Structure 1
Amino acid sequence: MVQRPTTRRRQGGFTLLLAMGVVTMVTLAVLVSYGVVSREADVQGDSRRYKEALFAAQAGLAEGREAMRIRLGGNETYASSLLALSNAGLQVNEPGINGGDRPFLELLPGPGGAGTWNSLAIDEADLAAAERLSPSGEAYASFPRQENVRYRVFVRDDEDAVDPLAADQGLADTNKQVWLIAIGEVVGRDGSRPTRAVVQALITNENAPAVTSPGTAMTGGGSDNTYNSGGEAPTVLTDVVPTH
């Protein structure tokens, strides 16, 4: 005997299919929303890490300027500074920045020597007592330590005129200008997906030799541009205009 489906059974099957469809749509909507939120979080995280890397590069660039100012001393060009860095074994031989007519030189080697990074990590012991408190005087429970923020700084000569007497033309600065290149980097927690920022600046030596001209010694000259030496006044030559 064949039993035909009743109206109640047909309604129950339709309700089950409808419920499964609703659950499927809700699941898909949740997955799509999760993907959108994850991508937005990645974008914001990349933007934050890039800003940190940019600040690290700018800090390295400022430190590099001061280092070159100290190395320059009283010299007019950067040739001696570049040569000293090269003789110290600080010429960079890494992929992308090795070789060439104008070699890259490691201006600020890290703690491990050439090829290592300088860290911007914050040591709590180095902070003053006021820096550990909020403006209202409450002690900070924690603060960013920047353990994954680091930087490197390079220097290289720019494309200036060739010095025929220089042994190494790539280090022979003649126009008192060199390039400073700073790289800031923020490394992920697992060491993957590092975010980098690169800034560079063309710095110019402002040391100028003193310019003097020969002439008679001024004695008795005052701030009012008068001559009062108590002796014979100097002879002043003036143009004589003939009259008719």
Structure 2
Amino acid sequence: MGIVTMVTLAVLLSYGLVSREAEVQGDGRRYKEAYFAAEAGLAEGREAMRIRVGAERRYTFAFADMQQVNEPGLNGGIRPFFEVLPGPGAPGSWNSLAINPADLAPAERQSPSGEDYAAFPLQENVRYRVFVRDDEDDTDDGLTDTNGQVWLIAVGEVVGRAGSRPTRAVIQTLISNENAPAVTSPGNEMTGGGPANTYSETGPGPTILTPVMTLNSGS
């Protein structure tokens, strides 16, 4: 009986260790999926903000065009959150990263040798949301942008089994609009120079062409 008891305890202990190790590995895998979902949402949100702002240098009117978030943890405060990419459902819904096999090209559903995959992850439990809020600039109402910079926040989430906690990853970055064209020219053109690397000093006297110092790379 003693030997049977010891063997039973050893089996139970081994089973517990294996279960905990599998749980840790599963959490790591789900966090990576949530992180990649947040990265995808961040890239899509950055492009959406670029298109929405256009050639403007400030984000004030973009705030007025988006829905303010009023949810636990995301409502109130000095600088409110705005929904950049509203989900397809009711307000506060998520954007799904689920894969529809019908949308995949034949090569994407086959192995390198040309064999069809029997099954592959459809990512039906992976989703994301993207928010924007003003940074700490000259105003404190959170609705007026004065420095052309705002915080873009992406949340990726992997939903577990019923009753289990979801796994989330949050990424935020400070963005500024660069749609407006920048006027530049080679050399010292902005100060009156030209392609001959000379500076034209105009005045009451004769025009003097002064060579401009250039740096030559050695051989």
Kept in 2, the 8 Å contact 1:108–1:154? The answer is: yes
Identical pairs, percent: 74
Deviations 1:17-62 (A, max 9, x none): xxx0000000000000000000001000000000000000010000
Matches of 1:225 and 1:21 in 2, distance apart?
96
Residues 161, 209 of structure 1: alpha-carbon distance in 2 compared, 3 angstrom cutoff: farther
**Cα offset, 1:193, TM superposition:** 1.5
Residues 210, 203 of structure 1: alpha-carbon distance in 2 compared, 3 angstrom cutoff: closer
Matches within 5 A, 1:57-136: 57-85=38-66, 90-136=67-113
Residues 61, 191 of structure 1: alpha-carbon distance in 2 compared, 3 angstrom cutoff: farther
1:181 aligns with 2:162: no
Write the letter of the residue equivalent to 2:32. Answer: K
Map of 2:7 onto structure 1: 26
Write the letter of the residue equivalent to 1:79. Answer: T
Q: Looking at CA atoms only, which structure, 1 or 2, has the larger radius of gyration?
A: 1
Map of 1:206 onto structure 2: 178
Deviations 1:172-221 (A, max 9, x none): 00101000111000011325211000000000122447669xxxxxxxxx
Map of 1:47 onto structure 2: 28
Matches of 2:37 and 2:63 in 1, distance apart?
24
Residues 56, 21 of structure 1: alpha-carbon distance in 2 compared, 3 angstrom cutoff: same
Write the letter of the residue equivalent to 1:183. Answer: V
Q: Secondary structure at the match of 2:171?
A: strand
Matches of 1:123 and 1:92 in 2, distance apart?
30
Deviations 1:152-185 (A, max 9, x none): 000001010129xxxxx31100101000111000
**Cα offset, 1:76, TM superposition:** 1.1
Write the letter of the residue equivalent to 2:164. Answer: S
- Specify which of 147, 155, 158 is matched with residue 124 of structure 2: 147
Write the letter of the residue equivalent to 1:196. Answer: R
Matches of 1:206 and 1:140 in 2, distance apart?
44
Structure 2, gaps ≥5 residues long: 185-193, 199-204, 210-219
Matches of 1:130 and 1:66 in 2, distance apart?
29
Kept in 1, the 8 Å contact 2:50–2:179? The answer is: no
Task: Give the superposed CA RMSD.
Answer: 2.2
Write the letter of the residue equivalent to 2:85. Answer: L
Matches within 5 A, 1:220-239: 236-238=206-208
1:138 aligns with 2:115: yes
Matches of 2:104 and 2:161 in 1, distance apart?
24
Greater strand fraction, Structure 1 or Structure 2: 2
Q: Secondary structure at the match of 2:5?
A: helix
